[in-house]
Structure 1
Amino acid sequence: MRSLVMPASLAITLALVLYTIGVFSERRAGRLGGRQLALFWCGLACDTTGTTLMTMIAHSGGTGAPAIHGITGALAIVLMLFHAVWATVVFVRHDDGVARTFHRLSTVVWLVWLVPYLIGLFMGMPMLHFGGVQATLASLVVVAVIALVLCARGGAKRK
């Protein structure tokens, strides 16, 4: 099962890349487009694939991932699925009012998704020696800082 670590990590990291491009290109454009919709669905597929592989590794005794990592990871996938479905509805309905503000939901889902990604990243870095609690706290701090920066930039754009 250890041979699945690399494909699982690549799939989850590809999900990060796809989802980040989708969220921030939508945010920059100020509206939801077909390209972003495709990126959301592809990011969800990659994350689900990577998470499934990581779950197989954990069940085979390959890792000691903490419960919080599994809980936040499951929550992130559920939120990504909700987000992709809602994005599809918004896109199909051509509701410009909702489409123009959809980036707020996208940003929140992306930030929540970052928590389990960073927990896994921090726990996987041997030089940090982070356990579940330290990795969770570090990921929450990083996500909070990113959220503050995004809020500050969003407020500056509106002025």
Structure 2
Amino acid sequence: MPLLFIPPLALMDKILISGCLYGLPVRYDGKDNLLTDSLLQQWQQQDRLIVLCPEVSGGLPTPRPPAEIQTDGTIITKNNIDVTDAFLQGAHQAVMLCQQHNIKFAILKENSPSCGSHFIYDGQFNGTKVTGQGLTAAALTKMGIQVFSEHQLSILYAVLDS
């Protein structure tokens, strides 16, 4: 009969999670996007979650004007201020945090100009979404981190369990 091996919690893979999904009021409008999912609660109890809001880490205040990625790759606020550098700094902070904690997985807020993993807004501030990634999601993907949206927790669970 095989022995069951349960790895110590310290050896379990860490997961980067967007601060707004964790319940921090860091969205552009000063609110959160708190996820109340049993898987997330389990990972929290296992001390697997590393929380980061790339936009706040990049130096942007809360609240702040909404921002969207433009066709040229810059990120502009609704009142026409270029905040690309802050978004790039936040992406860099996320990469550094993942390297520091050997993070291979991330749960990021879909549609965000930082965290969108599959969709972002089209840059026209009219609510239209297009296929694409936010700056942080793209930077993490480029370094081999598997990025999941808040709608893909069961997929992440299956990957972690394999």
Normalised-by-shorter TM-score class: under 0.3
- Structure with bigger helix share is 1
Structure with bigger RCO (C-alpha 8 Å, 6+ apart): 1
- Structure with bigger strand share is 2
| TM-score, scaled to structure 2 | 0.27
| TM-score, scaled to structure 1 | 0.28
